[in-house]
Each structure stands twice: as C-alpha cells, then as structure tokens.
Amino acid sequence: MAAAAAAAANGGRSRTLHRRQRAGPGPAASASHGGGRGDTGSVSGRKDPFPGPAPLPRPRVKRFLRGTKEKAPRAKSQRLRWHLKLSGQREEAAAARAARLDLLLPEEPGFLEADPGEDTCTVTQGDIAEAVDIASAAKHFDLRLEQFGPYRLDYTRNGRHLLLGGRRGHVAAMDWQTKALMCEINVMETVTDVAWLHTETLLAVAQRRWLHVYDNQGLELNCLKSFPRRFTVLMIFFSLFLQNDKGFLQYLDISVGKEVAALCTRGGRLAVMAQNPANAIIHLGHSNGTVTLWSPTVSEPLVRMLCHRGALRALAVDPTGTYMASAGLDRKLRLFDLRTYRVLQELVLPQGAGHLAFSQRGLLAAACGDLVQVYKGVGKEVPPQPYLCHRPPRPPHGLRFCPFEDVLGAGHGHGFTSILVPGAGEANFDALENNPYRSRRQRQEWEVKALLEKVPAELITLDPTQLGHVDTASLQQKREERIQRLGFDPQAKAKFKPRRRAKGNNLLHRKRKVAHEEQRVNTTLHPSTAAAPPTHASPVQCPCCTAADRWQ
C-alpha cells in the first residue's frame, strides 16, 4: 500500500506539472521574471517603454575596437565567409560589452588645475600633500640613507614593491605602500644597477664583477659571470638584456638560463640604454651623439639615428612606443617620432638632463642637475611646459614612475624621495595581468600562465605587426621548389585548345557519318535482318496467265 501511495503521489505530481506546463506561466511566473529591462511584462502589468539594453554611443564602442576596419576581398569559400562574418560579430559584441562595463570603473585620471594667473610648477609637494587624502599624502616620503648612496631604484610591474641599490653595496627590497621591509643586505661590492625580475620574489643586482640574482629574503640564488654596467628585463620574453663598458650586448633567457645572443656594437663604452615597451627593441646612446636600435636576431643595428652633436646622457621611450626622448651634453632635450624618426620638439635646458623617464599617461620627468622637472603635453604641437618641479636633497641618480600610482621615485646621494605627480599613472589596472592586491596563490598561477605564454626572443622585430602577415616570398620559394621536384606545376591550368569548326567543306562527311550511324543502330536493333545477305528473287508467275498475256 505504501508503494501504491507513493506511485499515486508521484503520478499526481507529474500530472499537476503537466497541466501547469500546458497552461503556461501564470501571474507568479510573470512577476518573478518581469523585473528585467528586456521583459515586456512587470509586476504592475505595464509594458516597459524602453525594452532591451540601453543604447551605447558609437565613439565609446570604437575605443575598444582593435585594428583597422579595412574592406577585405570577398572570400571564395562560403565557409570562410561565414567564419569571417562570425569573427566580426564577436569582436563587435566584445567591444560593446567592454564599453558597457567601462561604467563600472570608478577611478578617473586627473591633473592639477591651476587658478587663472597661477602656474602649476610653483605648487610644492607640501601643498599637494595637504590637499589630498591621508592615504595619498602618505605616499610622499623621504628615506635618509646617507652612508651608502647614491641609489638606483626599480618598481615591480604592479607598482607594489620597491627595490633600492646603493653604489656602496646596500640593497633593500620593501613594500613601499605599507613600508614593510622584505630584505636588506650589503653585498660588500660596488652596485651599478638593480632590477626586479618577472615577479617580486626575484631581484638582480649588477655588482663590481658579476651579475647576482637574489630572492626576496636576501639569499643568493645564481651568479652570472658577466660584467654588466646596465641591464633591463624584457618581461614577456623572460629575457635579461645586459651591456658593459666594452661595448658588448647579451640576451639571456632567465626561464631556462640560456644565452640567446651576444652582439658587439663597436660603439665603445655603453652607459645609456632604454627599452621600447611596445616592441622590446633596445635603444643605446653613444658618445658620438647617435642612437642605435638593436634586436637579438640581427648582428647589426636596425636603425642608426643622429640625435645630438655631443655625447648622449639619457634616453627614454614612452609606453606606446611612439616617442623617444633624448638628452645630450649640448643641454638640449629632443623628442623624436619613432614612426618617422624625425624631431618633433626641442627644448634648451639650463642644465643637461642626466636621467629621463616616461609615465604611463605620457608625462616626461627629467633630472636637470639637482632639480626634477615633469613635463606635460609631450608630443603636441606646442612645446611642453614644466608641469611640476621638485628639488631633492641631492642630485638624482635614478628616476622611475610607479605603475598605477601618481608617484615618481628619485634616488639620490642621501637616499630616496617619493614625489607626488597627479595624473602620472593609469587609474585602473587589469587584475589578470598586474594586480597590486594579488595573493600568493594568484601570483603563482600568474607565473605559470606567463611561462606558458612566453614569446620567444627571436620574434623581437622593429614592427611587431609583421608577425601576423603572410610571408609571400617564402610561399613563392616553396612553390618553385615543388615545381622543380615534380617536374611540372600541379596548380597550373591546362592549355586551352580551341575546337576546329570548319563550315561548308565537311557536308559530305557529315552525311556519311549520319548514314553510318543509322546503319549501326539498325544492326543493333535487327541483328537477323542485318545478317542475311541481300538476294534478288524472281517474280512469281501466275498459273492462269498464258504466254501471250505475259508477253503483253
């Protein structure tokens, strides 16, 4: 009975659900699903006057579209046409979704706005610290380290950690926002340059003899027996670029510990270097006023530019890879357009700039003697004017903008100074790439993903867009080799041979052909008649006729 009752209960429930499905959604269902913007019904029963998602302005969507909308030739394959159409629709939908979600980003970049008749370069750091909130004011500080200076510095990609290296051997790593010290050591040798590797757990120090790699606890992990004076990290390539006083360049793959290339510049002592963040090309400044561009795949410079009449002192390339700033002994600051390799702007400084640095939003910082000047509007028609000025305790020996922060770090003989520069950093960051608040587990996952997506150093080219183009020369060479191997061209079309169509002369020939065709058909249909030989039978004589009748 219990089983029968359960079956009856299940059967009753199933019949009830079936009746509900046939009847359709009731008022309760309409009330539960009618709150969306795209539904025609609502709790009150009124129709939504604005159905569907809110429209987006076309300029906002264009900001997230990549590439140029060039009209491609019509594809011959229908499947390929469908695939291209679907790809375009997906790209358009992704851009529209990014533009719609852009409203959720609360941070917006901003600059100092001066009153009429006031110049922003007269605003001091104390005035800025008093006007901003407490968290931002805490980012302006000085570290008094007078015994081991002057200092070189470097920030991590997410802008959270700071690395300091004094010329007299002092090396310190810290979380500069919380002022938490990670490690502090003295290598007891001269330090010429310091830099973070791909994460904040590894740091490299160029010492008097060799290049040493330490972890964030100060333990030495590796020693590269090279003699670098300056070096930089090519992040997406997991490569380390080294230069020394003898004019040699080295590319080291830090993921496998292998040397990618070793080049001789034949340019003498190398002390001025900058990396193009857009294509990972290395810019080197020489004592004869020229700048050379280098790639590990070519043993000669890709480009050689004459920038100054004297030796170069500093180089910097903006994050977009469009502009390059150079400073020489002639006290001139020049801005070049790397698309045309021509001078856009030229400034005469009271003192030659010893260090240059670009921010994420295009601000240019220059260390002129004991004064740090920040320029705004670089690349425009009007020459840039000083946006901010600050005088550290000693002449700077290193300048770096902190990523995703309005902070400029300056290392000098008495330690380190953090300068507030409103509008220098990007207001929003990509949490999947550079997350300042990531945990240890997230950092480990990012490191594994970055290693899997590592780009080989052989792909470093002056124009990175060429990597997606088809090499027509190689295709033509392969086709010629195939023709030579087979002895003929399998893709060549057959030679056209026109039919001979003579008129009038072949009339008899056509008649004979038709007669032969009829005879062949008759032979096929009546084989017995065709096989019997033709006979000439005598006429039948009537027995009732006489000879006279036949004679008549």
Higher confidence at residue 43 or residue 22? 43
- With a CB cutoff of 8 Å and minimum separation 6, the contacts of 223 are 210, 211, 212, 213
User: Which residues are within 8 A (CB) of 155 and not within 5 positions of it... i.e. 6 or more apart?
Assistant: 161, 162, 163, 196, 400, 401, 402, 403, 409
Digit-coded pLDDT (tens) for 439-490: 999 999 999 999 998 888 888 888 888 877 777 677 788 888 888 988 888 8
Give mean pLDDT, residues 394-405. Answer: 94
**pLDDT at residue number 4:** 42
Closest by CA to 214, choosing from 186, 234, 237, is 186
In the numeric block, the tokens 């008093």 are attached to 130
Residue 56 near residue 99 (C-beta atoms within 8 A): yes
Whether the per-residue pLDDT at 40 is higher than 50: the answer is no
Residue 283 scores a pLDDT above 90: yes
DSSP assigned state of 91? H
Give the model's pLDDT for residue 489. Answer: 86
pLDDT tens-digit profile of 224-280? 887 778 888 888 888 888 888 788 888 888 888 888 888 888 888 888 999 999 999
For residue 150, cis peptide bond before it (omega within 30 degrees of 0) = yes
Contacts of 117 (CB under 8 A, 6+ apart): none
Q: What are the Cα distances from residue 511, in Å, to 500, 506, 517? A: 18, 9, 10
| DSSP codes of every residue in 247-287 | SEEEEEETTTTEEEEEEE--S----EEEE-TTT--EEEE-T
Q: Are 324 and 336 in contact (CB under 8 A)?
A: yes
pLDDT at residue 447, rounded to an integer: 92
pLDDT over 60 at 531, yes or no:
no
Closest CA to 249 of 232, 261, 233: 261
Would you list the DSSP string of 87-113? HHHHHHHHHHHHHHHGGG---------
Which residue in 209, 113, 122 sits closest to 169, CA to CA?
Answer: 209
* Assigned token pair, 544: 């009732």
The CA distance from 229 to 167, in Å, is 12
User: What is the total residue count of the chain?
Assistant: 552
> What pLDDT shows up at residue 503?
60
Q: Which residues contact 371 (CB under 8 A, 6 or more apart)?
A: 351, 389, 390, 391
Encode pLDDT of 369-384 as tens digits: 899 999 998 877 666 7
The answer to whether residues 130 and 407 touch, using CB atoms and an 8 Å cutoff, is no
User: What distances in angstroms separate CA 102 from CA 65, 107, 428, one per listed residue?
Assistant: 14, 11, 10
State the amino acid at position 518 in one-letter form: E
Residue 526: pLDDT over 90: no
Q: What confidence tens digit (pLDDT) does each residue in 127-183 have?
A: 999 999 999 999 999 999 999 989 999 999 999 999 999 999 999 999 999 999 999
In eight-state DSSP terms, residue 333 is E
pLDDT at residue 16 in the model: 39
